[in-house]
Structure 1
Amino acid sequence: MRAGRLTGLLAAGALAVGGAGCATVPSGGQVVSGRPAERAERVDDPYVRLIPVKPRPEWGPAQIVSGFLAASASFDDGHKVAKMYLNGQPSWNPGLRPFVTVLADRVTDPHVIKSSGNQATVRITGEELGTITADGQYTASPKALDATFQLARTPQGLWRIAGLPGDDKAGLLLTKDDVERAMRTVNLYFFAPDRRTLVPNGIFLPVVNRQTLPTQLVQALLSGPTSWLTGAVETAFPEGTRLRHSVRIDKDVATVDLTKQARGGDVDRMSAQLAWTMRQLSEIKSWRLQIEGETVTPDGMDATQPVNAWEGNSPDGRAPADDAHQNAYVVGPSGFLGTLEDDRAQPVVTGAAGSLSRPAVAPDLQEFAGLSTDGTQVLTAAPVTGQPAPRVLLTAHKGAGFTAPSWSRDGTLWVVESKKDESWLWVRRRGKSFVRAAHWGLGGRDVLAFRVARDGVRAAVIARVDGRPQVQLGRIAHAPDGSLDVGSFLPVSSELQDAVDLAWRDFGTLAV
């Protein structure tokens, strides 16, 4: 497995160890190699300011294009220097949330392909890794880049860009190094349909200067989820809620002052979203919530809230009580289901149920599921001890097989039935029978693995694309009639290749 830094989608990372890895998947992040996954997000990494170079009078068309691309990586003063390279393009204004085409490397060889008097056309080529939309969503889409710039001489005889690729709607062409220097991968937090569990929505956020990052982060949260999660999550902030002014920080205490619209929201739930979002910034240890300048206090808390409060809303679920017994279930050397005792696997289930292939224990520890030896049947058994009799719940169509079972935290069981260029998602809610998902976004793909995150909203898969396995991340939306829409699958990274299996380590880390 290759390990780089920029990831897709959503965006993630990889710890390469003996052919395996971990992908940090907030939905916008990077691949990391050989270091703890907690370091994948670099919100607090030092901000390196780029000093852009103004165009020089003697530069020709190709040099002007090179200078423009380099200056575009500076977000200072609204891309003031980059605009000096333009002639008659007053509407080009990428802003702080631009559309970005991410390139593998700097374009080093722009060349003039047409020149006539005071007009010229410059062509650039390169390797495109993906795109970042205006809401911060990254999508891996590796392909060749081929774009042209139109240039003209000014009355003073200076070459300037008169036409951009994509015209007035053009965004930025940045290298992955530009993105990693000028942007930060951050999580915004929104509620799952249960209205209790928070779901991370990772985005790329440009950094003009480090002091403005807290305000940018809260503004992004108030703007709502990216298009990828819209419809699958909800926010506690009433429509139209905005910051009254910048987030103020005094001695590790932040003050977030919202407009009057916030009075219609639930203070506890708004606080949970804000606390989880702001805890990514090391300079904030506690904070106050205000509405129109008046401090509001959640039930049972002080006016100054610890930024690490609201653990009950964790995307990983409620932490077990200190005295709660937690079993670590493993598959022993001879294939039996067991628990770890003194670093050794001890059988807990014996007989036919104890040797199910790819077993998975339900969150309440009362039931487990697995596959038949040939992968063509889904079976369950209970309890998770002794010699329970396995029950066959699903049998695959001819030529098809099932992915390993996956439980979501509410006790729902998920499996994908798949064969070449075709698949079906089967879902069994607690106490019900399996039903096929009404809307399944990978129906035309061979799916090798499927895992639901603990938040119940995100799902990671390995799907075969163009003959090779590809790690993708999708979202689970619940329709008013109770049906499921499991789709919007996007590649996690162009750098995670030849994956054979995956699992959620925690809400932000995918083991691949």
Structure 2
Amino acid sequence: MGADRVGGVRRPARAVAYAACGVVLLAGCASMPDSGDLRDVESTPRQDSQLRVFAMPPREDARPMEIVQGFLEALTSDDPQYATARQYLTGEASGHWRPEQSTTVLAGSPDIQVDRITERDSTDNCAFALTGSKVARVDEQQSYTPMGGNYSQPVHLTRDKKSGQWRIDVPPQGVVMGQSDFQRNYTSVNKYYFASDSSSGSAASATAVADPVFVRRRVDAMTQVVRSLLSGPTKWLKPAVSSSFPSGTALRRGVTSLAPDDQNRLTVPLNEKASGVGREKCREMATQLLFTLQNLTPTVDAVTLERADGGTLCSFESDRAESVATRGSVRRPDYLYFVDDKQRLVRISDTGTASGVEPVPGALGEGVQKLKAAAVSWDERTAAGVGSDGRSLFVSSLVTGGALEAPVLQSQGRAEGDGLTVPSWDARGDLWVADRDPARPRLWVLEQGGGEPLEVKVPGLKGRVDAVRVAADGVRIALVVKADDNSKSLFIGRIERDEKAGERPVVSVLGLRSAAPELEDVSAMSWAGDSRLVVAGREQGGVQTMRYVQVDGSTPEGPPPAALTGVQSIAAAEDDRFPLVASSSEDGIVRLPSGAQWQKVTKEGRAPVYPG
């Protein structure tokens, strides 16, 4: 925000403030010029991640525009309770203002526009409007949602009759700031809960599901994240997951900050709601904490949960957490798979050179049935292949000598691109595929990869599903949806199963939300972590680009993948230690090791996939 820095303290750029209203008299908003009434609050330059920044309180006899700019400046500081920002408000306004209610993110910093109609000639009142273009909103649960459209919020000031000082009596709702300030102030962290439809109730079968939230990165982020975890999953994810923390569990009264000790152990004192949990349930609670905290910082190696009376509920080390629940991001594939020039399913163990390529065991590696694309189950024991006609789906064990059975699903689509999509396996062993037949486009799931296909309900879907990828947790699904205008957009949905005794489940994909709103022509995508995807597509009027996106539609920190032309498909392991792999119309199958450029694997191949 055009601010000066002295030892991490920010000083408002008052010269800009005066220019915005011309000569604003101490009498109030009167005598404003007819031009120059619109000024933006400049974004704060990026700071070192360890440097905390604080705003200055209002100076004596500060004018109305300066008060508004100072308030907006204070919203971007690292003040834990926004105490400085409240000094710009009247006492009554401060009591009603709820900064935790929401954070509105604008494309640029907020513009301050003088309201020339409302109480223009008053000597004790002054009105402005904050305007801009909306990018996103973070709600009271710290959940991020992309947004569009115009932002406009009134800001009203009054002059105290005793002190003569201007203060804001009608502030904007919640917090508002520009995108660059948001990126500097906030960081995304995955909270973890358990898939509520696990096939058995044992702890060993639990599947951890990531629930990303945004917290202020330099305002005791660890305590913020723990409080957010205890409060439960976000509204979008809640119907599909559960928490092992009893309802109402919170930090013990009086606990304001958490920090690990010199042994990297974090002690978390809980209130009385958690005092009666048993040892196994406590281990699950500790696992949720460890997965969550390690996503924030790798320095926490163990947690101790305390009862309200100070006694120990349980202690648990991070290396034992994987015995309680599994995460997609720690699944290590044995092979990379693709379809070779003979239209067989082949695999390569080192993802390095073509010399390591071998046909998979079983019928799909023998070349009797020509393939167009394939997918391999998470345990790498079964594969599903789409026939070269694009209309037949085959499932076969990856065992030498296994026979190829009849197709488990067939499409009636005739034209190129109107048949079956590349299939995808979830962690339960179920197989997902979309039929792009224009006469009757549908999304299917085959339980355990066989049997009678179940049609999946997708309420609110506008268009047809053109590509499918299920997350390792089996709770979230990524869909490329082709609209009537032929644009292709990426959406994330929540998988819900209504299972009744003796009946087949009703499977639905609900809560569709855009994950890459700026891309209008998504051509390829893959999961690339617990809450991250890699996507190839085009912006409006632009060329093809490749980038990482979060499931909530935000952009993760870090650089995008190196540029690659002619991307036809992408494969990413959820364990980010494995290289990104793509199929290019120019270079065949290529790989992108960490910190390197794209390297050719083989020209003779297509449709690479990791398990999933």
Alignment RMSD: 3.0
- 2:323 aligned with 1:307: no
Is the 2:186–2:215 Cα contact (8 Å) retained in structure 1?
yes
- 2:268 aligned with 1:256: yes
In structure 2, the partner of 1:19 is none
Is the 1:129–1:494 Cα contact (8 Å) retained in structure 2?
no
In structure 1, the partner of 2:394 is 379
Task: Quickly say closer, same or farther: Cα 1:421–1:233, change in 2 above 3 A.
Answer: farther
User: CA separation in 2, counterparts of 1:63 and 1:468?
Assistant: 46
Q: How many residues align?
A: 449
Kindly provide the CA deviation profile for residues 447-466 of structure 1, in whole angstroms up to 9, marking residues without a partner as x. 22211111111112222467
Q: 1:66 aligns with which of 66, 69, 74?
A: 69
In structure 1, the partner of 2:192 is 189
Matches within 5 A, 1:217-256: 217-244=225-252, 245=255, 246-251=257-262, 252-256=264-268
- 2:122 aligned with 1:117: yes
User: CA separation in 2, counterparts of 1:184 and 1:137?
Assistant: 12
Of residues 386-395 and 425-434 in structure 1, the stretch that sits farther from structure 2 once superposed is 386-395
In structure 2, the partner of 1:429 is 447
In structure 1, the partner of 2:521 is 498
TM-score, structure 2 as length reference: 0.66
In structure 1, the partner of 2:303 is 287
User: CA separation in 2, counterparts of 1:462 and 1:227?
Assistant: 23
Kindly provide the CA deviation profile for residues 122-143 of structure 1, in whole angstroms up to 9, marking residues without a partner as x. 2333221111111111011233
Consecutive unaligned residues in structure 2, runs of 5 or more: 1-47, 536-612
In structure 2, the partner of 1:161 is 168
- 2:52 aligned with 1:52: no
Is the 2:108–2:133 Cα contact (8 Å) retained in structure 1?
yes
Larger Rg: 2
Shift, 1:178, TM fit: 2.3
User: CA separation in 1, counterparts of 2:73 and 2:406?
Assistant: 63
Is the 1:243–1:256 Cα contact (8 Å) retained in structure 2?
yes
Is the 1:192–1:455 Cα contact (8 Å) retained in structure 2?
yes
1:66 aligned partner, one-letter code: Q
2:432 aligned partner, one-letter code: W
Kindly provide the CA deviation profile for residues 434-477 of structure 1, in whole angstroms up to 9, marking residues without a partner as x. 1112x314532232221111111111222246753332222212
Q: 1:338 aligns with which of 338, 342, 346?
A: 346
Is the 1:368–1:384 Cα contact (8 Å) retained in structure 2?
no
Over the matched positions of the two proteins, sequence identity in percent amounts to 29
User: CA separation in 2, counterparts of 1:59 and 1:470?
Assistant: 49
- 2:517 aligned with 1:489: no
Task: Quickly say closer, same or farther: Cα 1:239–1:124, change in 2 above 3 A.
Answer: closer
In structure 2, the partner of 1:370 is 385
Task: Quickly say closer, same or farther: Cα 1:66–1:341, change in 2 above 3 A.
Answer: closer
- 2:286 aligned with 1:271: yes
Q: Per the alignment, in what secondary structure is the counterpart of residue 429 of structure 2?
A: coil
Task: Quickly say closer, same or farther: Cα 1:74–1:190, change in 2 above 3 A.
Answer: same
2:73 aligned partner, one-letter code: A
Task: Quickly say closer, same or farther: Cα 1:53–1:374, change in 2 above 3 A.
Answer: farther
User: CA separation in 1, counterparts of 2:191 and 2:436?
Assistant: 34
Is the 1:61–1:112 Cα contact (8 Å) retained in structure 2?
no
In structure 2, the partner of 1:201 is 211
TM-score, structure 1 as length reference: 0.78
Shift, 1:495, TM fit: 4.7
Shift, 1:250, TM fit: 2.0
Task: Quickly say closer, same or farther: Cα 1:153–1:409, change in 2 above 3 A.
Answer: same
Shift, 1:494, TM fit: 3.7
Q: Per the alignment, in what secondary structure is the counterpart of residue 53 of structure 2?
A: coil
Is the 1:66–1:110 Cα contact (8 Å) retained in structure 2?
no
Kindly provide the CA deviation profile for residues 228-251 of structure 1, in whole angstroms up to 9, marking residues without a partner as x. 111100011111222223435321
Shift, 1:183, TM fit: 2.1
Is the 2:339–2:371 Cα contact (8 Å) retained in structure 1?
no
In structure 2, the partner of 1:507 is 530
In structure 2, the partner of 1:103 is 106
2:452 aligned partner, one-letter code: S
User: CA separation in 1, counterparts of 2:312 and 2:229?
Assistant: 20
In structure 2, the partner of 1:412 is 430
Q: Per the alignment, in what secondary structure is the counterpart of residue 408 of structure 2?
A: strand
Shift, 1:310, TM fit: 1.2
Task: Quickly say closer, same or farther: Cα 1:379–1:480, change in 2 above 3 A.
Answer: closer
2:260 aligned partner, one-letter code: I
Matches within 5 A, 1:448-463: 448-463=466-481
User: CA separation in 2, counterparts of 1:364 and 1:218?
Assistant: 33
- 2:88 aligned with 1:80: no
2:215 aligned partner, one-letter code: L
Q: Point out which structure has higher relative CO (alpha carbons under 8 A, 6+ apart).
A: 1
Task: Quickly say closer, same or farther: Cα 1:57–1:334, change in 2 above 3 A.
Answer: farther
Consecutive unaligned residues in structure 1, runs of 5 or more: 1-44, 298-302
In structure 2, the partner of 1:38 is none
Kindly provide the CA deviation profile for residues 37-56 of structure 1, in whole angstroms up to 9, marking residues without a partner as x. xxxxxxxx834322223334
